[in-house]
Amino acid sequence: MIETTLWHPVALSHAVEQAPLAVQLLQHALVLWRDGEGRVQAFTDRCPHRGARLSLGRVHGGRIECPYHGWQFEPGGRCVHVPALPQFTPPATHCATRHGVVEAYGLVWVQIDAGNAALPAFEAEGDERLRKVHCGPYDVATSAPRIIENFLDMAHFGFVHDGWLGTRAATAIDDYRVEPTPTGLRATGCKAWQPQSNLHSTAPAQVEYTYEVTGPYTAVLTKVPEAGTTALAGWRESIALFVCPVTPESSRVWFRLAVADFESPDEKLQAFQHTIFTQDQPVLESQVPRRLPLDLRAELHTAADKASSAYRRFLRTGGITFGVC
């Protein structure tokens, strides 16, 4: 499965502290922990001795210790201490299974099987004029691709987000452009009439979006400032959607907001995003099947859905099998 060689978000960086943290990714049980140097480690959450969960153990002296017989494992995965045989030097084959792990965008990313995939891009992260704030995690009872597709969909704004990102009084979708990219797709010129497009909106405005799919389960939207609006001059916002494919039909979701607003408290920015996503969540969880159908004949499509049709095409040609049907 190609998905296991890609990087996936599994936890907020600051959620990995002193105690080992159990997470699930692509149906694999993993344990995250911090070694003596403060680096995050990701192991399979199963002790190679008798199969106990390492996440029930503790981190001590830069090693993770199994809760059952106290075997201790180094950052590289190697067992270096067997308390029942204190003089015994375990051979190199006494090893926990270790996975690739990096921290980026405030999250811990794991690659289950080694490969040369790049981390999904999020350009706004490096822009110092933008402040970064997290929202989530949200545990959502649907596949990761259904969640990404919802993020690319503007035709639901007037219904699901009536009075916020859209209005029943203006539901038409103007034509927009979609082009494939090496990591997914880019949709530009996506316009929406929004009563309350962000925390600071005081009047409805026409907002133009760019959507980018940056990996099978990651996407970024950028709101392009309107030309000639002095009130909003220089105002821009980029929102990344990072989805962890937990099982084929359940996911964990984070948003990374990159905003020019350095004044509002985190909670206020998070509350706006929270309102929007909790409007989406019940509808997302109602969709059947939960796995995204890649056969274009399985559901109906219109020109307004061309970003989602392109996304399905990208998943199909990319050989993605997890979370789709």
Q: Which spans of this chain sit near ligand FES (rule: CB under 6 A)? A: 47, 49-50, 52, 66, 68-69, 71
Residue 12 or 52 having the CB closest to ligand FES: 52
CB 214 within 8 A of CB 220: yes
Candidates 48-56, 91-99, 135-143, 279-287; binding stretch for Co ion (CB under 5 A): 279-287
**Of Co ion, ligand FES, none, which one does residue 235 interact with (CB within 5 to 8 Å by kind)?**
none
Q: Least distance (Å) from ligand FES to the CB of residue 86? A: 14
Candidates 48-56, 117-125, 273-281, 312-320; binding stretch for Co ion (CB under 5 A): 273-281
Residue 74 or 237 having the CB closest to ligand FES: 74
Residue 21 or 294 having the CB closest to ligand FES: 21
What count of Cα atoms within 13 Å lies in the side-chain half-sphere of residue 216? 26
Residue 7 or 71 having the CB closest to ligand FES: 71
Cβ neighbours, 10 Å, residue 29: 14
CB 26 within 8 A of CB 245: yes
| Alpha-helical runs (H) found in the chain | 144-151, 157-160, 266-286, 306-317
- Picking from 236, 224, 255, the residue whose alpha carbon sits closest to that of residue 150 is 255
d(CA 274, CA 268): 10
DSSP 167: B
Q: Least distance (Å) from Co ion to the CB of residue 212? A: 17
Nearest 10 degrees: CA dihedral of 166, 261, 263, 11?
90
Give Rg (Cα) of the chain: 22
CB 157 within 8 A of CB 142: no
- Picking from 298, 256, 280, the residue whose alpha carbon sits closest to that of residue 119 is 256
Among 145, 280, 306, 314, binds Co ion (CB under 5 A): 280
CB 186 within 8 A of CB 178: yes
Token pair, residue 292, equals 């995204």
Residue 50 or 129 having the CB closest to ligand FES: 50
Q: Least distance (Å) from ligand FES to the CB of residue 57? A: 8
Residue 146 or 291 having the CB closest to Co ion: 146
3-state class of 185 per DSSP? strand
**Of Co ion, ligand FES, none, which one does residue 280 interact with (CB within 5 to 8 Å by kind)?**
Co ion
Q: Least distance (Å) from Co ion to the CB of residue 197? A: 13
Residue 166 or 215 having the CB closest to Co ion: 166
Q: Least distance (Å) from ligand FES to the CB of residue 79? A: 8
Q: Least distance (Å) from ligand FES to the CB of residue 10? A: 22
Residue 46 or 146 having the CB closest to Co ion: 146
Residue 149 binds Co ion (CB under 5 A): no
d(CA 188, CA 206): 14
Q: Least distance (Å) from Co ion to the CB of residue 156? A: 6
**Of Co ion, ligand FES, none, which one does residue 50 interact with (CB within 5 to 8 Å by kind)?**
ligand FES
Distances (CA, A) of 76 to 39, 42, 236, 261: 12, 10, 43, 42
**Of ligand FES, Co ion, none, which one does residue 47 interact with (CB within 5 to 8 Å by kind)?**
ligand FES
Q: Least distance (Å) from ligand FES to the CB of residue 54? A: 7
Footprint of Co ion (CB under 5 A):
280
